[in-house]
Amino acid sequence: MTLQIAPSLLSADFARLGAQIEAVERGGADLLHLDVMDGHFVPNLTMGPMVARAVRRVTKLPIDVHLMVQEPDRFLDVFAEAGATMMSVHVEAAVHLQRTIAAIKALGCRAGAVLNPATPVVALEEIASDLDYVLVMSVNPGFGGQTFIPRSESKVREVRALLDDVGNAAPVEIDGGVDRHNIARVVAAGARMIVAGSAIFHAADPEAATRELKAAALAAVSAPA
Ligand code: DX5
Ligand code: ZN
């Protein structure tokens, strides 16, 4: 895998979800990012396993479930059953993170850990070899359409270095405020799974926006360091 674009369905038009998924698929989306919020860990409520199941029925793309919930262990099996390909849990919400990561893998999904902007990379030190990916939040989770926090760029580099130190080639994912202006920089920093919500679904043409973001990201992968 070189680089993957993950449109975040949070910013999609839910009344036309099937058509919006088809559009980003045509634009070259590699994953569909599903933001699950519980109104406790983050101040918003979004979608649950029923939506994941509905999405699973209309696409073959991998489903990337981002769990912004307290006690994520309670929901792992229902999302696996609903068709999740990969699931990430917040370090701040998973008290027994090592066990949670193992549980996700046991369900047949790829397992990721997520860092909030205020959580240091060192929080992953003991678990770095167990992770299938790491998600760096570049906004505080809860809403689409927020502004990218600039410090996230160097944080991606730090996470990449930590994974490299333990010989883990797992990709770094970035989520929040990514658009055509900053995508090249986050890719240059080492991000290889790029989530984009409003930059895709609030564009006049989500298909074209997906294609353009992916082209910009791919150009940054191949650009000399
Ligand atoms: C925020 C979510 C993001 C969100 C990104 O809590 O985790 O996935 O949808 O949306 P944009 O790209 O608009 O910041
Ligand atoms: Zn997300």
Of 87, 116, 175, 179, best ligand 1 pocket probe by most atoms within 8 Å of the beta carbon: 175
User: What sign does the CA torsion over 201, 203, 206, 209 have?
Assistant: negative
* Pocket flag, ligand 1, residue 117 (CB < 6 Å): no
Residue 225: the pLDDT is 60
Residue 1: the pLDDT is 58
Amino acid occupying residue 6: A
221 φ/ψ angles, rounded to the nearest 5 degrees: -65, -40
- Determine the distance separating the centroid of ligand 1 and the alpha carbon of 66, expressed in angstroms: 10
- Token pair 């406790």: residue: 40
* Pocket flag, ligand 1, residue 11 (CB < 6 Å): yes
* Pocket flag, ligand 1, residue 7 (CB < 6 Å): no
* Pocket flag, ligand 1, residue 47 (CB < 6 Å): no
Residue 223: the pLDDT is 80
Q: What is the pTM of this model?
A: 0.98
Average confidence (pLDDT) per 10 residues, the chain, 225 residues = 93 98 98 98 98 98 98 98 98 97 98 98 98 99 98 98 98 98 98 98 98 98 77
What is residue 57's DSSP assignment? Answer: H
Helix, strand, coil share of the chain (percent; to 5)? 45, 20, 35
